């Protein structure tokens, strides 16, 4: 018996698996534009993230220029501490507080639920959500580092290392921002949680709260928290600072923390407010 194959007609059916087509590049560009417009119009989050590091930077640099030899209690002068403090503040602004709250707002408004019905996946959504925040942080870093170098608080040879450490901080706090924004129960919850993480990270980084003010046992415990490893990297570029940990260990801890937070952010990200 001879069998002949016939071309599939318009009414024929297939039994093979059907895979959804990947979103085209145009969809990625549209998402990038959407996230950029959303962020720039969000006065509640964009303006503080833009102004706070720069305004405090101008204030602190002016103070450091006036009284550069004032002691901070950490064995360094205020002038030596100011740039690491400002860079840490920058790393916890747009990447953390200005990321978590807008994500929770999009979910509360139902925008994420609509996106969840499209071929846009979690990873693509998060990747297109980042660039505008990265751009803001890059501008702030350039302004602060340029000002610090001009005023003599940064040695030009240390600039590449400062940017490298800043990237590590951006990865860690950015991942924390997406994790909080992806699981928080609402806008206020996300904002309060991210602000709490920001304040705790800053206070326990022994820049604003010198370790000499803490009991020895507590100071030792605090030194093993991820923000302390990041602060140690920033301060290691400052003459007179005695490193708490080897550089390789601090880099490994910050990168490892960022990797864990990123994996959790992608895994636990919720499109809908009621999703579990």
Three-point CA angle 128, 196, 123, nearest 5°: 20
In angstroms, the first-to-last Cα distance of the chain is 57
Q: How far does Cα 27 stand from its chain's mean position?
A: 24
Q: Are 169 and 230 in contact (CB under 8 A)?
A: yes
pLDDT at residue number 72: 55
Highest mean pLDDT pick, 21-30, 155-164, 248-257:
248-257
Mean per-residue pLDDT for 189-215? 81
Higher pLDDT, 25 or 44: 44
Spell out the residues 6+ positions from residue 247 whose beta carbon is closer than 8 angstroms to its own: 233, 236
Rounded CA separation 82/85 (Å): 5
> What value does the mean pLDDT of the chain take?
80
The mean pLDDT of 63-77, rounded to a whole number, is 65
pLDDT category at 211 given cuts 50, 70, 90 is low
CB 102 within 8 A of CB 112: no
pLDDT number for residue 18: 42
What is the mean predicted confidence (pLDDT) over 153-161?
A: 88
What residues contact 3, with CB distance under 8 A and at least 6 apart?
Answer: none
* Residue 139 predicted with pLDDT over 90: yes
H helical segments located in 110-186: 111-116, 122-129, 131-150, 159-183
User: Who wins on pLDDT, 164 or 243?
Assistant: 164
Between 179 and 203, the higher pLDDT residue: 179
Q: How far apart are CA 117 and CA 108, in angstroms?
A: 16
| Highest-scoring range by mean pLDDT, 50-54, 94-98, 247-251, 266-270 | 247-251
Give the residue with greater pLDDT, 263 vs 208: 263
* Residue 255 pLDDT > 90: yes
65 is written with which tokens? 């220029």
List the helix and strand counts (H, then E) for the chain.
Answer: 12, 0
Q: Is 7 left (phi over 0), alpha (psi -120 to 50) or beta?
A: beta
Q: What is the pLDDT of residue 5?
A: 46
Beta-carbon contacts of residue 39 (< 8 Å; ≥ 6 apart) = 45, 46, 98, 102, 132, 133
Return the structure tokens found at 269: 């990200």
Mean pLDDT for 108-133 is: 75
120-134, 230-244, 251-265: which has the minimum mean pLDDT? 120-134
pTM of the model: 0.79
Assess whether pLDDT exceeds 50 at residue 10. Answer: no
Q: For residue 121, what pLDDT band results from cuts at 50, 70 and 90?
A: low
Name the residue with higher pLDDT: 174 or 1: 174
The average pLDDT across 43-54 equals: 86
Centroid of chain to Cα 14: 46
Segment 229-249 mean pLDDT? 87
d(CA 113, CA 130): 19
Residue 126 has pLDDT above 90, yes or no: no
């Amino acid at each position: 018996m001879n069998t002949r194959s016939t071309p599939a007609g318009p009414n024929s059916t297939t039994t093979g698996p059907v895979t959804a087509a990947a979103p085209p590049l145009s969809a990625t560009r549209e998402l990038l534009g959407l996230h950029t417009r959303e962020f720039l119009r969000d006065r509640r989050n964009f303006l503080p993230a833009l102004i706070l590091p720069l305004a405090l930077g101008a204030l602190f640099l002016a103070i450091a220029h006036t009284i550069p030899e004032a002691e901070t209690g950490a064995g360094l002068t205020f002038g030596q501490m100011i740039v690491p403090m400002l860079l840490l503040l920058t790393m916890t602004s747009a990447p953390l507080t200005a990321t978590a709250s807008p994500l929770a707002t999009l979910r509360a408004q139902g925008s994420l639920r609509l996106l969840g019905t499209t071929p846009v996946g979690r990873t693509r959504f998060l990747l297109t959500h980042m660039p505008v925040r990265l751009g803001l942080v890059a501008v702030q870093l350039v302004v602060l580092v340029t000002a610090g170098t001009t005023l003599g608080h940064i040695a030009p040879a240390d600039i590449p290392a400062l940017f490298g450490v800043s990237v590590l901080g951006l990865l860690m706090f950015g991942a924390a921002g997406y994790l909080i924004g992806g699981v928080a129960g609402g806008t206020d919850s996300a904002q309060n949680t991210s602000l709490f993480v920001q304040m705790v990270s800053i206070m326990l980084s022994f820049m604003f709260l010198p370790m000499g003010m803490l009991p020895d046992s507590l100071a030792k415990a605090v030194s093993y928290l991820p923000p302390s490893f990041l602060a140690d990297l920033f301060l290691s570029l400052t003459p007179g600072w005695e490193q708490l940990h080897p550089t390789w260990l601090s880099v490994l801890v910050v990168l490892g923390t960022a990797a864990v937070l990123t994996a959790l952010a992608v895994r636990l990200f919720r499109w809908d407010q009621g999703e579990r």
